[in-house]
Structures are given as C-alpha cells and as structure tokens.
Structure 1
Amino acid sequence: MTPITETTATLAPELITQLHTSFTADPVLKRTQNAIARVSVDDLAIDHQLATSLSTTVSNRIDDWKVTNQKKSGRCWLFAALNLLRAGAKEVLDVKEFEFSQNYAMYFDKLERANYFLESILETAERPEDDRLVSFLLQSVMGDGGQWDMAVNIFSKYGAVPKAAMPETESSSNTGRMNAVLCALLRRGAQEVRELRIAGDMAGEERARERIITEVHRVLTLHLGTPPTQFEWEYTHDKKVFHREGVMTPQEFLAKYTTITLSDYVCLVDDPRAEHAKGSTLTVEHLGNVVGAPPVLYLNVDIELAKRLAKEAILDGEPVWFGCDVGPQMVRKDGIWDARLYDYAGLYGAELAMDKETRVRFGESAMTHAMLLTGVDVLDGVTRRWRVENSWGDENGDQGFYTMADNWFDEYVFEVVVNKSRLSPELRQALAADPIVLPAWDPMGALA
C-alpha cells in the first residue's frame, strides 16, 4: 500500500483503489457492513450482557415523585435546579407531587441574558467583528443552556412561582423559533450599539439599548406569557386539607416554600487539565446572565471527592444537582449509562479511547446536560451506581429515572453542587481566593 508522505499528501487514486480492495477482501468487514446497513450501529456495538446485568435498584433512594419534561428545549439546568428546590417544597406543602414554573424562570433568564449580552458586546466594542471573543459572543447568543450559579441569579432576583401561576406554552416547550428571532434581534442590536459606542454617542447608545431590551421583552411576552408579579396561592395537601394562603409575590413564595439557602451551595467541578490545580477556583469570562450578579464560580476538585460529597448528601436525604456529558455510553430507552457499554473500537477496528483530560483538550467531551442525583447504591462502603432524575419525560428508564454506573461518573460527570458545609476548612478557605479566569470559549464554559 502506497503511504501518504509529507511531500505527497494528496490521496492518490491508487491508494483509494487499494483501500477498497482490501476492505472487500475482508469477510468480517463485509458482514459488519451488511449488518450496519440494516440495523443501528449501537445495536451491534453494545455489550448486551453488561447492559442487561446493570441493576436499576439502589440501596439509598430519595425520590418518590414523578419526573418532569423539558421537551424540545435546553432548559435542563433550570429543570434540575427547580427539581432540587421542589424536594423541600413538597415537604413544606405536605404533597407528593408539586412542580415549579420552569417557564417563569426561563422568561427572566432570557430577558437578563439579553442585557448581559449587550453589556459584553459593548465591553468588546473596540475589537473587530472577527476577533475570536466577539465572534464567540455573536455565535453563542441566546441559547437555552446554563449553569448552577446562573439559576441562583434568577431565583435570587425574581423568586419562583408554582407551575399553575405561569404554565408552559408552545414556545417554552419548543424554543427553536423564539430563540432564532431573539438571536436575529440581538445580533442586529449588537451592530447598532457597537457603532454608537465607537462613535462616542453615549445618549444614542443608551436609547438603543433600552429599545432593544423593550423588543426582547415584547418577543418573550408574546411567546411565553406575562410573568406574574403576584398571584393568589391556594392548594390541598395530601391529607385532603385545603389551604388558602392569599396573595403572594414570587419572592415570598420562594422564601416560604423552599428549605435551602441558595448562597450556601457551591459548584464543584472536575477540570482534568493538569495546569488547573485541584483546590483552586475557576471562572469563565463573559459567562453569566445577570449583570452585576456574582460571577459563575467553580471549585476544582478531584472526582473522587465530588462523588463522596454527593453520596453524603444523598445519604442525608438531599438530592444533588450535577452536570455531565450526557451522550456517550448511554442507552436512552433503557435509561442506563456505563463507561464500557459500547465497544465502537472493536467494531470499527480503530482506536477511539481517550482519557478524560484528552477528551476535554481536544473537544471530544464537555458539559452538555444537567440532572439530579436522587439515589446511590453502596455495598460494604463501596459506591456501585447512582439513580438519576432526568427531565426527558417518563417514557424511558424507570419512568424517567436513569441508572448510572459509578465508572461512568468518573469519566463523564464534570460538576456537582453541594452545601459548602460539606467542604473541608481548606476548601472553604479556597473559595475566597481569586479564581483562575478562563477564556469565554473554554470547555469549562460549556452550558448544560
């Protein structure tokens, strides 16, 4: 076979012919080709024995409620955060089923994020449009994803309401068209305010910014409805007793019906890159949603510590918000994850394995989804698997709850949120240190 050398880097027709001949002569490859032509490659690569042997039971389980459904939206981080809050709300209300309005939280996230975007655009107005940071800001404007601290920003400023006070709309459950309109509006606005800033027309810039926010507000309100500033709250708890609580504001509702103090929690992240020391804090420039709010802050820890603290929280009866790279090594229908579930390398005859650090460095892995840990299986002190509350409806897994092998946690979980009181004194002290500032496009800035 003629090699491709540095001086002849083109693919020669003779090489292509040799490759075809070699492939056709291999009976195993021919049989594999025939199979892939008719069935999913996942069905061929899966370790059936492993998939069927992964038990979905756990020794310690918190959940006794139904899952939620984000539908065709990227609101997983908000769903997971509100599902964490509702665990306490159910206890206060003495009801088995309760749901916060995810639509309400998304409405204000998007309104605030539009303002945050304009602020970032103005801060970079002296840079050309093809500057890497400006290009990144324009490309990533107005998605649905987010991080834990961004959810805290919204709850702290706007409170929360029950789902009945601001129910789902077609657009909250299917955000694509609304987001496209908002992207076009904000990119056009970015051009306008950049030109006004460069021209030094501060009055014109302020008028343009106010008009753009007014237009964003109009689009959001048309698509998502008008968020309540107050509402009448009444309910019947599981003992059939009717409660009429009267008129409440969203801030009053959040304070009365949640059991955790949001500022007491910290996001632990496993950044596997050696240059970012464990025990250090990290942040990402231009990552956020509320201008003037505290920046997104991560405490970089070893994955084993993150697992131990998550386990301790569950054993104490508290669900855990976490972010992961959700797609690899998953059977969605069965609702299972295991790091050894699919043998693609054996099927293709090509080496595909990379360690966690390499996957992050070369763009193969990043945070893509946030969920809630609601159970853990421990045998003789050893953690074996985790129970996960997803927000993809109840059709897959155990009525929407998934099972994660502990080895998958090691490889594909990137962050967990725990109470700061669970940290060692040294790590609590580390939270006060100036964070390492990562560029906006860094993998740790990926939105769940």
Structure 2
Amino acid sequence: MSKTITAEQIANFAQQTQAQPAVSALAGAVQKNGIYAASYNHTSATALDPVFSVEINTGAVSNQKHSGRCWLFAALNMLRHEFARTHQVKDFELSQNYDSFYDRLEKANWFYEQIISSAKLPRTDRKVAKLFAAPDDDGGQWSYAVAITQKYGVVPKSVMPETTSSEATAQYSSVLNTKLRKDAIMLRQMIQDGASTAAIDAQKQKFMTAVYRITAYAFGEPPKEFTYTYRDDNQQYHTMHTTPQAFLQQEFKQNLADYACFASSPQNDKAVNTLYTVDTQGNVVGGTPVRLLNVAPDRLKALCIQLLKDNTPIWFGCDVLENMDRVAGALSGNLYNTDDLFSIHVNRDKALRLDTGQGSVSHAMTLTGVDLINDQPTKWKVENSWGDKNGHKGYFTMDDAWFDAYVYEAVIPTKYMNAAENKAWQGQPTILPAWDALS
C-alpha cells in the first residue's frame, strides 16, 4: 500500500466524487453558501418555537461581548433574577466587571503558586506546558464563580460598569500573559538555584503588585463599599450603603456554595456517582475547588426539570458551537445535515467525542424553562449572555436531542441529592489531568 497520495489515487477520488448524485448542485450550494447553510435543516429549526409549559419569569439578557466570561455571567444571572424578583427591579444586573477584576487577580496568584509547586518538573512536562499555555484567561468553571463571590461579594452593575478592556479582554490578556510567562521563568530559576522560601514569596509579591496595576488600569479599581440608589418597578425610590460582601449576604437568599456541579459524561473512564476534580484548575488559592459529580444522563435531566418546576434557574455547561444557529437562537441536535450533504457518517457518539477532543465544555448559559409533553421534555428555554440581537431577545431554544448530545454539566442544589450522590459528594475526588475533556 502506498503511503503517499499518487496521481492515480487523485484521479480515482475525483471519479468517485463526480459519481455522487446531484454532485454539481450540491457542490454549487456549498461553494456559494457555505457548508452549514447548504445543509440547514429547516424542519428542525422551525420546531423550536419559543413556547414552554414551565417557564421562569426573567428580564432582559446580559451581554459578555468580546470576552470569555460566560461562566460568570451565567452564575450572576442566577443571583440577579432573585434580586429582580424580591426587590421588584425587572432588569436588574450585577457587575460582571467587579468579579472579573478579582478573578483575573486571583488567577495570577494561582498561576504563580502552580509554577512554584511544579518548578522541579522540566518545562517540557505536559502539566507545566499546560500552565504556560494559558496562565490567566477569562474562561472558568462553576467553582470559580463560587470562590470569587464568596470571597469578594457582588455589586450592582451601576456601581462598577464595564470598561473597554473588560468587554473585549484580548489586549489585556495578551499583556498580562506575556508578563506571567516571563515571571514564571524567573520563579522556576530561583527555585532551581536554591532561593529561600522568603525570597521567592517576596518576588511573587512584587509580581502581584504589577498584576494589580495592570488590572486596575484595564478594569478600574473595585469599591470596598458603595451606595446604591434605584427606583423599583413601582417607581418607589430606594437607597442603601453597604459593602460587596454584606450586599451578597443580606440581599440574596441563594448561596452559590449550596450548589453541586453535576457532570454527565458517558466516557468509560468516568464512573457514575463518582466525584472528580481537575489537576491545576482553579482561581482562588484556598477557595472552592473544582468538583464535578458524574451522574447518569437521565438523572441530570430529571433534576433540571425539577428545579425549573421549583422556579430555580440553572447554570449549565455545554458545547455551544455544535449544531447552533446563533442568529435564530436555535440549538438542535440535527440542525445541519452534513451527513446527507457529503454522504458520510460523522462522530455523534457523546463519549467518543469527549475521548477524542471533538467535544468540550465551551460555554455556560442558564436554563430558564422547559416544554413538557406527557411529562417528557421536548425543548428548553436558554438564557444566553450574547445580547438581545440573537435568538428571541437573547433567549435561545434548545431541543431535547441537543441537551442529550451537548450538555455536559449543570449545577444542582445539594438538598436535591439522593443518598448515593451525597455520599460521593462528601468523599475525596478522583483527580483528572489538566487536559481532560471536562476541564
């Protein structure tokens, strides 16, 4: 068998391609309109009408713009809807910039500590290489939101509004990560040269001072206390003077720490009712660790339905770029018929996609509704954080097949756990490598 492509093989490829039914029409459609437009399943898309039998009353959507803060937006959405309901402020919004500031500051400290602890490993070690590849970005896990809000609280958006850099983080991240990589090389060299713990810590503090300065210039300095004035939906005037931590504790009954992140991975190396964590992943040193409780897919879905019936919005992690029409706000398991278009069969097995890197937890959103027929879900209402120009004023509609294929995580209050889940949650987690699909 030839290991190289020959002219004879190319001729055979071309002959077989030309033998395909309607080849000219299909090729022309793809070349003119693109693969997704040429394979668009209109029947699947039109079935996603935004009507739901179970629906939480929510307001206008938020907009993360050119940033990767979906995990934080989705978490703060859970809190803001409570405040909007209890204080009658329909479109109330919390400051994502406030918690983003501390998240990026804490991630820098986390990175330095990871570099220090792994300093005796070679730079070519896969773990070390992973650290250098992404020292401090704006992506995150559910646990990151818990850790940041628990330590620093929250503030209304008007108290610390967005800046150009918080809405479009690429420039800030580039400057910061260039510095962090340089700092990491110095810290590793100090440790390899036998520097004292005190000397290493002093150098790290100098580095952190510069990180604070960069972040303050980009995002603004967060307030230690603030005055918030507003008119409710009945035009009644209110004012309060408080701190971010007191605001969270006094104005919100929800405690994000009372939620567990349930995963739904059918991979062979992920057991049901088993707790996992991810090596090197985190943002706050000493804060809430990454913890994922893997459960059966039907269990995760049943819990999500129960929470929505109980009027509780749900943070969930998914693979949003798969079978999505962003403009229409459609998420359908069969939105693009690429198999029929190209006469192929692509990988649609959830476990295999995760095993091979095709599947990933790329985005977090909030479930706010479900349509049940004979107690079975047909479609779900999704609050996204991409502004109101996409979908139905920013809300997406997801069919149940998409949920099955591309939803990987959802946060569930610990009080909903059964005995087996509670026992696993209280135990010691199995450590997944930093490059695992659930990272």
TM-score band, normalised by the shorter chain?
over 0.9
Q: Does 1:266 align with 2:254?
A: no
Query: Which one of the candidate residues 219, 226, 229 is aligned to 1:231?
Result: 226
Aligned equivalents of 1:240, 1:137: Cα separation in 2: 51
Q: Does 1:135 align with 2:129?
A: yes
Aligned-residue offset at 1:111: 0.1
Aligned equivalents of 2:316, 2:255: Cα separation in 1: 18
Q: What secondary structure sits across from 1:171 in the alignment?
A: helix
Report the equivalent of 2:293: 299
Report the equivalent of 1:49: 43
Report the equivalent of 1:208: 203
- Give per-residue Cα distances to partners, 1:149-173, cap 9 Å, x unaligned: 1100000000000001110000111
Per the normalisation by structure 1, the TM-score is 0.95
Q: Does 1:80 align with 2:74?
A: yes
Query: Which one of the candidate residues 349, 354, 372 is aligned to 2:348?
Result: 354
Query: Which one of the candidate residues 371, 375, 379 is aligned to 2:369?
Result: 375
Moved more, 8-17 or 181-190: 8-17
- Unaligned ranges ≥5, structure 1: none
Query: Is 2:382–2:396's contact at 8 Å kept on the other side of the alignment?
Result: yes
Aligned-residue offset at 1:427: 1.1
Q: What secondary structure sits across from 1:431 in the alignment?
A: helix
Aligned-residue offset at 1:308: 0.8
Query: Is 2:90–2:233's contact at 8 Å kept on the other side of the alignment?
Result: yes
Moved more, 77-86 or 374-383: 374-383
Aligned equivalents of 1:305, 1:332: Cα separation in 2: 29
Q: CA RMSD in A?
A: 1.2
Residue 236 of structure 1 aligns to which amino acid in structure 2?
R
Per the normalisation by structure 2, the TM-score is 0.97
Residue 383 of structure 2 aligns to which amino acid in structure 1?
E
Aligned equivalents of 2:14, 2:412: Cα separation in 1: 55
Residues 70-149 of structure 1: pairs in structure 2 closer than 5 A: 70-149=64-143
Query: Is 2:144–2:288's contact at 8 Å kept on the other side of the alignment?
Result: no
Residues 36-435 of structure 1: pairs in structure 2 closer than 5 A: 36-202=30-196, 203-245=198-240, 247-435=241-429
Aligned equivalents of 1:93, 1:79: Cα separation in 2: 20
Aligned equivalents of 1:169, 1:152: Cα separation in 2: 23
Aligned equivalents of 1:94, 1:351: Cα separation in 2: 51
Aligned equivalents of 2:395, 2:113: Cα separation in 1: 40
Query: Is 2:146–2:288's contact at 8 Å kept on the other side of the alignment?
Result: no
Residue 146 of structure 2 aligns to which amino acid in structure 1?
V
Query: Is 1:120–1:286's contact at 8 Å kept on the other side of the alignment?
Result: yes
Aligned equivalents of 2:304, 2:17: Cα separation in 1: 49
Residue 204 of structure 1 aligns to which amino acid in structure 2?
A
Aligned equivalents of 1:428, 1:26: Cα separation in 2: 55
Query: Is 2:101–2:215's contact at 8 Å kept on the other side of the alignment?
Result: yes
Query: Is 1:389–1:400's contact at 8 Å kept on the other side of the alignment?
Result: yes
Aligned equivalents of 1:85, 1:27: Cα separation in 2: 54
- Give per-residue Cα distances to partners, 1:105-128, cap 9 Å, x unaligned: 110000000000011111110111
Residues 201 and 244 of structure 1: CA distance in aligned 2, closer, same or farther (over 3 Å)? same
Report the equivalent of 2:14: 20
Query: Is 1:63–1:375's contact at 8 Å kept on the other side of the alignment?
Result: no
Aligned equivalents of 1:27, 1:267: Cα separation in 2: 48
Query: Is 2:97–2:161's contact at 8 Å kept on the other side of the alignment?
Result: yes
- Give per-residue Cα distances to partners, 1:122-161, cap 9 Å, x unaligned: 1110111111110011002212110111100000000000
Residue 75 of structure 1 aligns to which amino acid in structure 2?
R
Identical residues among aligned pairs (%): 39
Aligned equivalents of 1:56, 1:354: Cα separation in 2: 26
- Unaligned ranges ≥5, structure 2: none
